[in-house]
């Protein structure tokens, strides 16, 4: 099962009449409204708002210029506005969001196009020719009122471009890295509604049913966009719009099939044909862009095709490729087939969703190669990689989380050595190494608190400086590492030193990765234990020093609350509870 998270969009959505805008404003407690929008629609909205209307602003602009927002904010302050009603396309919605970001005022949006941005927590703003995008719940409108009648007078060309813009929201949700079953359903329905409605609108702009389908499709597509991370399509459109002043909807409409082809979506050709049948620009050249403008862009090949307007090259069938690889495992044993199938589907999906480049993949292979070269019997770089990515802890939880009555498990770590020397009880495993002396008194029981005699307990830890014996070439033989056997009462006792926090080996690829992402390499201070006896499940765990450093940021994510122990007065007492092998 693939894990996912979905949070329902909290926007109140009303399909009805503009005449209800006053009642909806009342529900938000608005008494002094700023109305954003051109007179064509705003005059009627002003009439519906009545005495709630405090001021109007008619200069909303494409790409939400910051200087326009600053002018609108002066009106907000001058008229003591307590909320914003925006009616129009994406420009009006964008300005309302920008005002809300700076003031916290509630918003009521009445879309007259198929922008879809009224459903999202995304705001794009332009300043000095550069468009930046941010995502924050503070800009998500409280209420959206859809009135199909307002779209009937929308020219066919504007309707088509706006509708393809909405379609891009749904398409991008299909390959977003955080897509989930709910966004898949919403995106599929949005694509169905929009691809059906747009040709009908182009043929007959007064077709109410087609307009209704388009508006509903835009609503669902916007909901998709709010739930997932924006990808390549929006990044390119926002970049081109901000830098070259290209019209927002038309840029989305032109680029959509080319980005789809680049992403390997098999229906890119169908969307190209749909766009070609609509009364819109069909190339970036028609919008004023030249090849010289995009010469240094990473996606220059994609943009070059969009400039000329030629049909995008048919992508290889990535689904078919994945299926071909999966089918090659058909003769494998069930569990191996299951593991390899999911691995291939996950890796292929990862490569597609993240638009993985050849250079990035070669770097990843080189990273793994370097990890292999540095790995030895005493330096387990791949275990470090698994640990620092949290995979070891995930597998530990999946494997060892059995009952709440057993002692929590923990990761094995890279410094375990099989077959440590069996040592008599009471021995000093520090062998005279410097450090704060520690007397350890351990008891091993079953889940009914009955002692478990003759259990084999392996113990290992680092020295005062944070090194294990296998890291110290001058150490002769095992130190701070031993194997004990519990007595008839399930007890074992030994002397050691109090463990210290220490860095994992950071001079290899894993250390470079931690540096690159700004993470420290330190582990919280702990002692390792492995407890085994026939008829019982083996317990691998660690005991952490209460009050020690890095308990809340252990670099291998290994600290569990039940394993933090008081080492007061240089004495450690603890009872391990292990379960029978059938538990």
pLDDT > 70? residue 290 = yes
pLDDT above 90 (res 518): yes
Q: What are the backbone dihedrals phi and psi of residue 577, each rounded to the nearest 5 degrees, phi first? A: -110, 125
pLDDT higher than 70, residue 3: no
Helix and strand counts by DSSP (H, E) for the chain: 17, 18
Kind and range of the H or E run holding 575: strand 571-577
CATH architecture of the domain formed by 391-577: Sandwich (2.60)
CATH number of 157-308: 1.20.1090.10
pLDDT digits (tens, 9 = 90+) for 178-187: 888 898 999 9
Residue 314's pLDDT band, with cuts at 50, 70 and 90, is: low
Confidence of residue 401 (pLDDT cuts 50, 70, 90): low
Residue 402's pLDDT is 58
DSSP labels, 248-286 = HHHHHHHHHHHHHHHTT-TTHHHHHHHHHTSSS--SSGG
pLDDT for 268 = 87
Amino acid 317: pLDDT: 67
Q: What confidence tier does 177 reach under pLDDT thresholds 50, 70, 90?
A: confident
Mean pLDDT of the chain: 90
Angle, alpha carbons 112-178-355 (nearest 5°): 95
pLDDT (average), residues 183-212: 95
For residues 40-56, give the mean pLDDT.
95
Q: How confident is the model at residue 195 (pLDDT cuts 50, 70, 90)?
A: very high
- How far apart are the C-alpha atoms of 389 and 260, rounded to whole Å? 32
pLDDT, residue 1, reads 42
Q: Is the pLDDT of residue 140 over 80?
A: yes
**Cα separation of 284 and 257, whole Å?**
12
Angle at the Cα of 582 from the Cα atoms of 579 and 583, rounded to 5 degrees: 50
- Nearest Cα to Cα of residue 315 among 272, 275, 279, 379: 272
* 509-515: average pLDDT: 94
The sign of the torsion formed by the CA atoms of 358, 364, 370, 375 equals negative
The confidence score (pLDDT) of residue 583 equals 47
Higher pLDDT, 450 or 580: 450
**Best CA proximity match to 486, nearest among 454, 517, 462:** 454
Same CATH fold assignment for domains 12-151 and 157-308: no
Mean pLDDT computed over 466-478: 84
Q: Count CA atoms within 13 Å of residue 28 on its CB side.
A: 27
* Residue spans per domain, the chain: 12-151, 157-308, 318-353, 391-577
Q: What residues contact residue 454 under an 8 Å CB cut-off, 6+ apart?
A: 485, 486, 533
Higher-confidence residue of 68 and 318: namely 68
Three-state SS letters, 408-475:
CCCCCCCCCCCCCCECCCCCECCCCCCCCEEEEEEEEECCCCCECCCCEEEEECCCCCCCCHHHCCCC
Cα R_g (the chain), whole angstroms? 32
Region for residue 499 given its phi and psi (left: phi exceeds 0; alpha: psi -120 to 50; beta: otherwise): beta
CB atoms within 10 A of CB 272: 20
Residue where the block lists tokens 């929009």: 194
CB 142 within 8 A of CB 97: no
pLDDT at residue number 480 = 94
CATH number of 12-151: 3.40.50.1970
Residue with structure tokens 């506005």?
81
% of the chain exceeding 70 in pLDDT: 98
DSSP class of residue 143?
Answer: E
Residue ranges with strand state E in 143-252: 143-146
| Residue 2 clears pLDDT 60, i.e. is over it | no
Q: How far is CA 162 from CA 149, 153, 283, 302, in A?
A: 16, 14, 16, 22
Q: What are phi and psi of 133, to 5 degrees?
A: -125, 140
pLDDT digits (tens, 9 = 90+) for 19-34: 999 999 999 999 999 9
| Percent residues over pLDDT 90 in the chain | 67
Tokens (6 digits) for 570: 């240089």
Q: Are 451 and 489 in contact (CB under 8 A)?
A: yes
**Span 150-159, mean pLDDT?**
93
| The pLDDT value given to residue 379 | 85
Q: Average pLDDT, stretch 458-487?
A: 90
Residues with catalytic function: 468, 502, 523, 526, 528
Exposure of 189 by Cβ count < 10 A (0-12 exposed, 13-18 middle, 19+ buried)? Answer: middle
């Amino acid at each position: 099962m693939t894990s996912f998270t979905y949070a329902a969009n909290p926007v109140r959505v009303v399909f009805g009449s503009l005449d209800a805008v006053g009642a909806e404003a009342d529900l938000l407690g608005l008494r002094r409204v700023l109305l954003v929008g051109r007179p064509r629609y705003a005059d009627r909205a002003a009439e519906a708002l009545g005495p709630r209307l405090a001021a109007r602003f008619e200069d909303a602009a494409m790409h939400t210029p910051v200087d326009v927002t600053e002018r609108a904010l002066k009106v907000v302050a001058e008229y003591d506005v307590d909320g914003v009603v925006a009616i129009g396309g994406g420009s009006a919605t964008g300005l309302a969001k920008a005002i809300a970001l700076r003031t916290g005022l509630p918003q009521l949006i009445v879309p007259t196009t198929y922008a879809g941005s009224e459903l999202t927590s995304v705001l794009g703003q332009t300043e000095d020719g550069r468009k930046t995008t941010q995502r924050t719940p503070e800009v998500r409108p409280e209420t959206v009122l859809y009135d199909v009648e307002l779209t009937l007078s929308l020219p066919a060309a504007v309707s088509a471009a706006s509708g393809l813009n909405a379609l891009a929201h749904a398409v991008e949700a299909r390959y977003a890295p955080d897509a989930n079953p709910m966004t898949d359903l919403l995106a599929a329905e949005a694509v169905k509604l929009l691809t059906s409605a747009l040709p009908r609108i182009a043929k007959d702009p007064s077709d109410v049913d087609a307009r209704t389908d388009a508006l509903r499709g835009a609503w669902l597509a916007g909901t998709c966009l709010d739930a997932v991370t924006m990808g390549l399509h929006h990044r390119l459109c926002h970049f081109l719009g901000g830098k070259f002043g290209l019209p927002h909807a038309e840029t989305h409409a032109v680029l959509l099939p080319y980005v789809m082809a680049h992403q390997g979506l098999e229906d890119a050709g169908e969307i190209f044909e749909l766009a070609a049948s609509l009364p819109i620009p069909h190339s970036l050249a028609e919008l004023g862009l030249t090849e010289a403008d995009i010469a240094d862009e990473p996606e220059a090949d994609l943009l070059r095709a969009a400039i000329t307007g030629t049909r995008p090259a048919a992508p290889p069938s990535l689904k078919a490729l994945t299926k071909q690889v999966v089918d090659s495992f058909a003769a494998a044993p069930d569990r191996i087939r299951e593991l390899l199938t999911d691995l291939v589907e996950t890796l292929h999906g990862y490569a597609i969703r993240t638009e993985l480049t050849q250079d990035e993949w070669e770097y990843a292979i080189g990273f793994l190669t370097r990890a292999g070269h540095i790995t030895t019997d005493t330096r387990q770089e791949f275990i470090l990689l698994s640990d620092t990515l949290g995979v070891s802890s995930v597998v530990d939880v999946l494997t060892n989380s059995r009952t709440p009555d057993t002692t929590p498990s923990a990761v094995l770590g890279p410094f375990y050595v099989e077959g440590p020397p069996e040592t008599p009880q009471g021995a000093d495993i520090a062998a005279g190494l410097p450090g704060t002396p520690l007397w350890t008194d351990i008891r091993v029981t079953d889940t009914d608190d009955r002692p478990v005699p003759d259990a084999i307990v392996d113990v290992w830890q680092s020295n005062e400086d944070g090194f294990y014996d296998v890291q110290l070439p001058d150490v002769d033989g095992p130190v701070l590492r031993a194997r004990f056997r519990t007595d008839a009462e399930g007890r074992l006792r030994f002397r050691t030193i109090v463990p210290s926090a220490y860095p994992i080996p950071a001079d290899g690829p894993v250390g470079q990765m931690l540096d690159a992402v700004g993470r420290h390499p330190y582990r919280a201070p702990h002692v390792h234990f492995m407890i085994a006896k026939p008829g019982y499940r083996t317990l691998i765990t660690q005991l952490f020093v209460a009050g020690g450093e890095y308990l809340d940021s252990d670099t291998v994510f290994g600290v569990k609350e039940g394993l933090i122990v008081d080492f007061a007065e240089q004495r450690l007492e603890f009872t391990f509870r292990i379960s029978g092998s059938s538990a």
